[in-house]
Structure 1
Amino acid sequence: MSSGYSIRARLFFGAALVLVAFIAAAGAAVQRAHTDSVRAVHFGRLQATVYLLLAKAELDDQGSLVMPAEFSEPRLSLPASGLYARIRNIRRNEDWRSGSSVGVDPPFPQDAPPARGEWRNEEVQARGRNYLSVSYSVNWAAGSTPAPLALTVMEDSAEFDREIATFAHTLWAWLGSASVLLLLAQTLLLQWGLAPLRRISGEVARIESGEQSKVEGRYPNEISGLTDNLNTLIAQERVRQARYREALSFLAHSLKTPLAVLRNALGEPQRLPDEVRQQVARMDDIVQHQLARAAAGGTSKFAPPIAIAPVLHRLRDALTKVHAQRGVEFTVDAAPDLAFRIDEGDLMEIAGNLMDNAGKWAHGRVEVRAWREGARLHLSVDDDGPGFSDTQSVLRIHVRGDERVPGHGVGLASVNEIVASHDGELRLGTSPGLRGARVEVVLPA
Structure 2
Amino acid sequence: MSGSLSHRLILAACAWVIALTVLGGLVLTFAFQRAATASFDVALNDQLRELVAGLTTAGAGQWQLSQPPGDSRYGDIYSGRYWQVEDQEGRRERSRSLWDSRLATCPAGPAGGPEWLSPEGPDGRPLRAIRQRIALPRRTQPVCVQVAVSRAALDAEIAQFTRTLVLALAVLAGGLLVAVWLQVSFGLRPLRRLAGQVRAVREGRADRIDGRHPVEIQPVVDELDAVLAHNRRLVERARSSSADLAHALKTPLSVMAAEVQRPGEDWRGTVDRQLQRMQALVQRHLGRAAVVGAGSGRRTPVRPVLEDLLGAMRRIHAARGIAFHCTAGDDAVFIGEREDLEELLGNLLDNAGKWARSRVDVEVAQDRDGLRIRIGDDGPGLTPAQREAATERGRRFDERAPGSGLGLGIVDDIAGSYDGHLRLDAGASGGLLAELWFPMPATNAA
Q: 1:84–1:155: 8 Å Cα contact kept in structure 2? A: yes
Is it true that 1:165 corresponds to 2:159 in the alignment? yes
Matches within 5 A, 1:80-99: 80-90=78-88, 92-99=89-96
Could you say which residue in structure 1 is the equivalent of 2:303?
312
- Post-superposition Cα deviations, 1:242-298, rounded to whole Å, max 9, x if no partner, equal 332343244234323312322333356864343234313432453355456666859
Cα 1:372/1:128, change in 2 over 3 Å: farther
Q: 2:85–2:143: 8 Å Cα contact kept in structure 1? A: yes
- Post-superposition Cα deviations, 1:392-431, rounded to whole Å, max 9, x if no partner, equal 4976659598979x97765444223323444512325446
What is the TM-score when the length of structure 2 is the normalising length? Answer: 0.79
Whole-angstrom distance in 2 between the partners of 1:122 and 1:313: 95
User: 63, 66, 70: which is aligned to 2:64?
Assistant: 66
Q: 1:207–1:213: 8 Å Cα contact kept in structure 2? A: yes
Could you say which residue in structure 2 is the equivalent of 1:130?
126
Could you say which residue in structure 2 is the equivalent of 1:140?
136
Gaps of 5+ in 2: 441-446
Q: 1:285–1:408: 8 Å Cα contact kept in structure 2? A: no
User: Which segment drifts farther, 350-359 or 317-326?
Assistant: 317-326
Could you say which residue in structure 2 is the equivalent of 1:31?
29
Whole-angstrom distance in 2 between the partners of 1:397 and 1:69: 126
Could you say which residue in structure 1 is the equivalent of 2:443?
none
CA shift for structure 1 position 7: 2.0
Cα 1:100/1:382, change in 2 over 3 Å: same
Whole-angstrom distance in 1 between the partners of 2:268 and 2:436: 41
Cα 1:105/1:242, change in 2 over 3 Å: same
Whole-angstrom distance in 2 between the partners of 1:251 and 1:195: 48
Q: 1:312–1:332: 8 Å Cα contact kept in structure 2? A: no
1:440 aligned counterpart, secondary structure: strand
Taking only the aligned residue pairs, the percentage that are identical comes to: 28
Whole-angstrom distance in 2 between the partners of 1:163 and 1:111: 33
Is it true that 1:274 corresponds to 2:266 in the alignment? no
Cα 1:257/1:193, change in 2 over 3 Å: same
CA shift for structure 1 position 364: 9.9
What is the TM-score when the length of structure 1 is the normalising length? Answer: 0.79
CA shift for structure 1 position 39: 0.7
User: 401, 424, 432: which is aligned to 2:421?
Assistant: 424
Q: 1:79–1:103: 8 Å Cα contact kept in structure 2? A: no
Whole-angstrom distance in 1 between the partners of 2:252 and 2:24: 87
CA shift for structure 1 position 67: 1.6
Is it true that 1:369 corresponds to 2:327 in the alignment? no
User: 180, 184, 192: which is aligned to 2:174?
Assistant: 180
Gaps of 5+ in 1: none
- Post-superposition Cα deviations, 1:195-232, rounded to whole Å, max 9, x if no partner, equal 22222223333333334443344333322333333233
1:221 aligned counterpart, secondary structure: coil
**What's the Cα RMSD here?**
4.0
Q: 1:85–1:97: 8 Å Cα contact kept in structure 2? A: yes
Whole-angstrom distance in 1 between the partners of 2:229 and 2:11: 38
1:278 aligned counterpart, secondary structure: helix
Whole-angstrom distance in 2 between the partners of 1:78 and 1:346: 107
Whole-angstrom distance in 2 between the partners of 1:335 and 1:123: 91
1:118 aligned counterpart, secondary structure: coil
CA shift for structure 1 position 330: 6.7
CA shift for structure 1 position 441: 1.5
Matches within 5 A, 1:343-358: 345-355=339-349
Whole-angstrom distance in 2 between the partners of 1:247 and 1:317: 26
Could you say which residue in structure 2 is the equivalent of 1:219?
213
Cα 1:288/1:415, change in 2 over 3 Å: farther
Aligned amino acid, residue 18 of structure 2: V
CA shift for structure 1 position 30: 1.1
Cα 1:78/1:124, change in 2 over 3 Å: same
Whole-angstrom distance in 2 between the partners of 1:110 and 1:55: 19
2:59 aligned counterpart, secondary structure: coil
Whole-angstrom distance in 2 between the partners of 1:173 and 1:234: 54
Matches within 5 A, 1:389-400: 389-390=381-382, 392=386, 397=394
1:380 aligned counterpart, secondary structure: strand
Could you say which residue in structure 2 is the equivalent of 1:14?
12
